[in-house]
Amino acid sequence: MATSPVSVEAPKRYTLISSGMAVVWAIAVAKLVFHVYFNNRYGYFRDEFDYISCGDHLQWGYVDQPPLIPFLTHISRAVLGDSLRAIRFIPALASSLLVVQAAVVARELGGRRYALVLTALCVALAPQYLSNGGLLSTNILEPNLWLGCAYFVILAIKRNDPRYWIGFGIVAGLGMEEKYTIAVFGLGVVVGLLVTEQRRTFLRPWIWLGGLAAFVIFLPNLLWNLHYDWPFLQLIRAIRAEGRDVILGPLPFFSQQLLVVNPFAAPVWLSGLFALLFWRPLRPYRALGWAYLVSYLVIFLQHGKNYYLAPVYPMLFAAGAVAIDAALGEFPSRRAWFKPVIAAVVVVSGAYLSPIVVPVFSPERFLAYAKTLPFKLPVNEHSHARAALPQWYSDQFGWKEIADETAVAWNRIPQDERSDCGIFAQDYGQAGAIDFFGRREGLPGAMSGDRTYWIWGPRGYSGNCMIVLDDRKEVLEGYWNQVEFIGRSAPNPYALEQQIPVFLCNGKKFDSWANVWPHLKRWR
């Protein structure tokens, strides 16, 4: 006989106020206002130029990402414009709605008012989700989509209605069009179902139909990757061969998991993990506990960055808040102060850590603040260690200076020669900055051998005239007869890319730019 789901007793009739959802919505709105206010304090982030440029070239895939975020960026810019607040409005909105999503999951797990509010506070103030709300990236919808998958798992089990697996498949398919790592969570759910009593799910057609829905939604991007010889896999191999990323051991990886979602909130999500695995009221959802363990193991063994696992924690926060609320409900009323103390610790610690990922301070004040922290900020790539600010801040500086120096070189070119003079940058950040800032100066779109820029090709230029960034004169002289050093981008003490050299090259030594292009591929 099938075991019916058991949940923590909850009110049978919910209103917005009695259920705590009014408070949850207030937290979400406050978070949205917070992000909108601070989202223009520094500058455009390196990766944001990539999404903007990809959004200008809509297609079913890109070397380093699926198509969903560039598509949404394209729509957002058409509606809201190009300001920092406009570019970052979708991230702010998604991160704020995540608060409500997580509280709804807590309610489905049987949570009462306190559990919903505690879940909302943990999610609203977790550093990674604060970061997601402040930068346009492929991380912005990941937590929403992972949690959406978990939500449909819960509904399918709780309501004994396998049709919800169709919803799971649709969300998973959308997730694959946003960032491929959701496949890891999908694998975790499958393993979790197989090792628990929910394995009977595979005896009915609905989960297979959900898998088919996911496949159909993902198919256009799959075909794009097939057509271009699996560029994303090529990129991953190149990054690993170069040894660019910092590889974490077991203890550093776990400690950074604590950090990305607030170490002071760790008791909540750890309670959620143990509750999903061992607590009787949440036993029907044990597959989700296994899904976390599998996701953790796969990402660690694949040397994933510390934030790759971050999308899974809203689910654990919800389960943990439900378990904590139930446990504290068994204490005498004189210990009721435990609840506000736990919430206060989450709020105070979250506020204290928020400047790490949200630019509430000037760069100077941030550097002073960072010295007061009891830990070192994580470094995900070896090259980031040289910057004064952490990479997520330092990569918001210096781009306008690069475009300005490129414009100096462009203005040296006679008007009648400009139609056949291109601009070549070494990486997608430089190329994207020229695409974004340079159009105001009349600069053409940039070329690069980096990532999807290489697929976009040499744009029909002959190569006889070329502005080249960030190279060495002796190297360029092997390709052109005349190589003039124009200057370096103005220094910025906070930028990761400093004083990039700009050259104006004329008189090609090669037969055509198109023949040189295949050798310029630089995916790393």
> Do 308 and 416 belong together in one domain?
no
The pLDDT of residue 334 is above 60? no
Please name the helix (run of DSSP H) or strand (run of DSSP E) that holds residue 217, with its range, or none.
helix 205-227
CA 344, 345, 348, 353 torsion: positive or negative?
A: negative
Contact 224, 59 (CB under 8 A): yes
In this prediction, residue 13 carries a pLDDT of 52
Q: Are residues 177 and 286 in the same domain?
A: yes
Last residue of a domain, one of 356, 382, 411: 356
Residue 82 lies in a domain: yes
- Summarize the confidence of residues 375-394 as an average pLDDT: 79
Per-residue pLDDT band at 332 (split at 50, 70, 90): low
pLDDT value, residue 9: 45
In order of 184, 355, 361, 415, the CA distances from 370 in angstroms are: 33, 9, 11, 49
Residue 521 CB neighbours (<10 A): 14
Q: How far apart are CA 38 and CA 332, in angstroms?
A: 43
pLDDT at 6 over 50: no
Residue 4, pLDDT > 70, answer no
CA 176 to chain centre: 13
Which tens digit of pLDDT belongs to each residue from 172-197?
999 999 999 999 999 999 999 999 99
pLDDT by residue (tens digit) across 46-59?
999 999 999 999 99
| Tokens encoding 216 | 């159909």
Task: Tell whether pTM > 0.85.
Answer: yes
Residues 352, 405 share a domain: no
Number of domains into which the chain is organized: 2
For residue 7, tell me if it sits in a domain.
no
Between CA 92 and CA 147 the distance in angstroms is 17
pLDDT recorded at residue 286: 98
Give the chain's radius of gyration (CA, Å).
Answer: 25
Q: Are residues 341 and 422 in the same domain?
A: no
Specify whether 347 is located in the same domain as 403: no
- Confidence class for position 79, pLDDT limits 50, 70, 90: very high
Q: Are residues 90 and 202 in the same domain?
A: yes
Domain end call among 356, 373, 408: 356
Average pLDDT in the chain: 93
Domain-embedded: residue 1:
no
pLDDT of residue 123: 98
CA distance 467 to 476: 11
Any domain includes 269 = yes
Q: In whole angstroms, what is the distance from residue 487 CA to residue 501 CA?
A: 6
How far apart are the C-alpha atoms of 171 and 111, rounded to whole Å?
A: 24
Together in a domain, 132 and 33: yes
Mean per-residue pLDDT, 24-37: 98
Judge contact between 251 and 299, C-beta under 8 A. Answer: no
Longest pairwise C-alpha distance within the chain: 86
Is the residue at 337 inside a domain? Answer: yes
Output the pLDDT for position 383: 62
* 250: in domain: yes
Question: Quick one: average pLDDT of 294-317?
Answer: 95
342 and 403 assigned to the same domain? no
Based on the fold, state whether residues 133 and 49 are members of the same structural domain.
yes
Same domain as 113, residue 30: yes
Does residue 181 lie within any of the structural domains?
yes
Look up tokens 């959900």; give the residue.
Answer: 210
Residue 267 lies in domain: 21-356
- Is the pLDDT assigned to residue 432 strictly greater than 70? yes
Q: Lowest-confidence range among 5-14, 62-71, 262-271, 414-423?
A: 5-14
How far is 431 from 46, CA to CA, in rounded Å?
A: 10
**Does pLDDT of 455 surpass 80?**
yes
Q: Which residue shows structure tokens 């296994």?
A: 290
Assigned domain for 374 exists: no
Mean pLDDT of 437-453: 94
The gap between the terminal CA atoms of the chain, to the nearest Å, is: 54
